Structure 1
Amino acid sequence: MSTVLTETRDHIAWVTLNRPEAMNALSMQLRADLAAAMRAAEADPDVRVVVVRGAGDRAFCVGADIKEFVEVPSPPAYRQARVPESWISPFDHTKKPIIASIHGHCLGGGLEVALACDIRIAAEDASFGLPETGLGIMTGVGGSQRLPRMVGLAQALDMILTGDRIDGKRAREIGLVTRVVPRADLAAETEALALRLAARPPTAMAFAKEAVRAAQDLPLRDGMRLEVDLLTHLLNTEDRLEAARAFREKRKPQFTGR
């Protein structure tokens, strides 16, 4: 059985972590399959939005598969295996919007997967945490870097140092997720959001994502220069002209990504 399932419909790639019996723990095979699925979605011209979710009723993902931690690699071997590219890297290289649809447990590396997505929508019963320090280790695929950028230094330190879990409501309050819905509505709300994004101009979406992501690292002046460069390119696209025509003709635009 594949550890990651992928289905594409209506310009949406549904990427499902598929180890429900292990609460979608990140085995080495699942990591490799997830990276491959994300690369395939980025390369597929029919895909405009990617949704990452977990199979089963209990968890989005509980993080690393502890059974595989029995044999710990030496520090040099670990570093060589992780740098400069890791299994999470395709998330950073994907120009298309990525939605994390989160239910149940979202812990450790599972939360780091969610943090690598662009939009996080969670069920009210979702539980978030980074328990690594209690195991004598720490985050390893961006948790210590992405989380402070989203929720601030103090909140990030609180979660990482204590290992305490927070629920969906609290996650929304601190900015960890942007949308919280009843568990029964999660699938429908996720699909509705994905369809909305997929209906928008693909190139404009990709450029907007690039500009916002760059804001984390660029000085303001450089970021504004990038913004103008990207906008200038968009002004000459067919999608921009189609949007103007559709507005005049009072109809829905049909975007092609050109």
Structure 2
Amino acid sequence: MIAREGHIVRWRPEGAPDWRADAEALDAYRWERARVVLLDLTACVPWEGDPWPRRAIVWLQRFPLPLVSALDGALGGAWVDLALAADIRVGSPSLTLTVPSELALPTVERLGILVRGTLPEPGKPLSGRWLFERGLVSALTEAPLAEAERVATVIASRGPYAVQLGKEAIWRGLAMPLEQALRFETDLTLLLQTTKDRAEGVRAFLEKRPPQFEGV
């Protein structure tokens, strides 16, 4: 199920999702002024069918909107590809994640970045605590969906262009030498100076009120 509530797109797969249909729906909401995607993986059933192809995982990782995922229970198989495609992952203490022996190459590459090169053993359940200590999960809480919703709400209240360019700066910058990544970030910052949202942010600060960003 994919539905938009205000600036937040709620994505709760019911069984193995059809990547073409879900990609089309997510892209359509992006053009309807959505600002963040909330991926609910707190009640997943075993994945049935083929995993998402490489191009679909790459598309999801590079999706312009920030992706916040809520993780709970036992996640394995192709669900791991979706979970690790998220930019921010919120898990529960009871979460376990089992890396399958066959993992999409883009997920392997991202996993290697997140754990700094030492990949987990396939087939071995990884606890929520283990994932949190190694940065694979951003936060641990008894109510991961509620916390993920809170994070998504905060992101949705920020300037859309600033958030999207911030995501781009992080993930593209990881593959660059430090000096090049810093120049790239500076270039994106200069782009933001030309937006109306930047001017609105300054006005709101001076007037001591919440900004009303429009994504322009």
Which position in structure 2 is the counterpart of 1:201? 159
- Cα deviation for residue 93 of structure 1 reads 3.2
TM-score by length of 1: 0.76
Which of 52, 61, 67 matches 1:92? 61
Unpaired runs of at least 5, structure 2: none
State the match for 1:146 in structure 2. Answer: 110
> Which segments of structure 1 move beyond 6 Å, counting only runs of 4 or more?
none
Unaligned runs of 5+ in 1: 20-25, 70-80, 133-137
Q: Distance in 2 between matches of 1:180 and 1:62?
A: 23
Residue 138 of structure 2 is aligned to residue 159 of structure 1: no
1:50 aligns with 2:41: no
Larger Rg over CA atoms: 1
Whether the 8 Å CA contact 1:18–1:54 is kept in 2: the answer is no
> Partners in 2 of 1:89 and 1:41 — Cα distance?
19
Query: Counterpart amino acid of 2:35?
Result: R
TM-score by length of structure 2 reads: 0.90
What per-residue deviation string (whole Å, max 9, x for no partner) do you get for residues 73-128 of structure 1? xxxxxxxx95xx62223313311110111111221321111111110011221111
Change (3 A) 1:90 1:39: farther
Q: CA RMSD in A?
A: 2.1
Judging by fraction of residues, say which structure has more helix: 1
- State how far apart, in whole Å, the 2-side matches of 1:90 and 1:253 are: 31
Q: Separation in 1 of the partners of 2:173 and 2:112? A: 15
Residues 1:252 and 2:210 aligned together: yes
1:4-153 matches, within 5 Å, as 5-19=1-15, 26=16, 30-42=18-30, 44-54=31-41, 56=43, 59=44, 62-63=46-47, 65=48, 68=49, 82=53, 86-132=55-101, 138-153=102-117
The number of aligned residues is 215
1:210 is aligned, of 168, 172, 186, to 168
Identify the residue that residue 137 of structure 2 maps to in structure 1: 177
**Structure 1 residues 104 and 37 mapped into 2: Cα distance closer, same or farther (>3 Å)?**
farther
